[in-house]
Amino acid sequence: DGGITQSPKYLFRKEGQNVTLSCEQNLNHDAMYWYRQDPGQGLRLIYYSQIVNDFQKGDIAEGYSVSREKKESFPLTVTSAQKNPTAFYLCASSPSGIYDTQYFGPGTRLTVL
């Protein structure tokens, strides 16, 4: 089955710890994205990458970092600098760029205690 996998589904961390969220796709898509979804806020773009070894900041990149060393993988690190990290995180991919239809993963719910 082609698709996007995010793991784990639920993640708990103590305040002050960095945590990395996994996102893998086997759709052979060039572009990948990370969003944050908060109740009543819709989706807000954190980072996106249109090609391997390149990525751009979205609207709320502060306190987050990403890497894109492989086409199929786009991990997101939530650092201790992120002031309000508890949220639902969605990963997506699209065939070639931000104008394309995006395909979303199941999401990871991060709770920082």
Partner 1 sequence: AQSVSQHNHHVILSEAASLELGCNYSYGGTVNLFWYVQYPGQHLQLLLKYFSGDPLVKGIKGFEAEFIKSKFSFNLRKPSVQWSDTAEYFCAVVNRDDKIIFGKGTRLHILP
Q: Note whether 44 binds partner 1 by CB under 8 A.
A: yes
Give the number of C-alpha atoms closer than 13 A to the C-alpha of residue 54, restricted to the C-beta side.
Answer: 5
Contact code string over 88-107 relative to partner 1, x by CB under 8 A? --x-x----xxx-xxxxxx-
Q: Under the phi-then-psi rule, with left for phi > 0, alpha for psi from -120 to 50, and beta for the rest, what region is 50?
A: alpha
Binding to partner 1 (CB under 8 A) within 52-91 occurs at 56, 59, 90
| For partner 1, the closer CB: 92 or 112 | 92
Which helix or strand (DSSP H or E) is residue 48 part of?
strand 42-51
Q: How far is the CB of 17 from partner 1 (least distance, A)?
A: 28
Q: Specify whether the CB–CB gap between 21 and 111 falls below 8 A.
A: no
21-29, 33-41, 68-76, 79-87 -> range binding partner 1 (CB under 8 A):
33-41
Which of the 8 DSSP states describes residue 88?
Answer: E
Q: Note whether 40 binds partner 1 by CB under 8 A.
A: yes
Closest CA to 19 of 89, 72, 100, 97: 89
Please report, as ranges, the residues that interact with partner 1 according to CB under 8 A.
Answer: 4, 35, 40-45, 56, 59, 90, 92, 97-99, 101-106
